[in-house]
Amino acid sequence: MNNTDGKLLEHFAKESLKQTIDNNYNFTEQQKHELKLIVDAGRTPEDVIKGILAYFAFNR
């Protein structure tokens, strides 16, 4: 897989995750917004997961 393929795969994975967040009725609009910011800010899948886990550890 070349770099372009990797970026495209990353884009689709992030968009899919944000769509999943949007479709979750258990989150408020504010939570959805904040979670999508975390997804966008993550450079690696590990960063995204760590960010989401930290978010729920401090906001629940």
The 10s digit of each residue's pLDDT in 5-52 is: 888 888 999 999 999 999 999 999 999 999 999 999 999 889 999 999
Q: Please state whether the predicted TM-score (pTM) of the whole model is above 0.85.
A: yes
Q: Residue 34 half-sphere exposure, CB side, CA atoms within 13 Å?
A: 13
The 10s digit of each residue's pLDDT in 43-59 is: 988 999 999 999 999 98
CA 38 remoteness from chain centre: 6
Give residue limits of the domains in the chain: 3-59
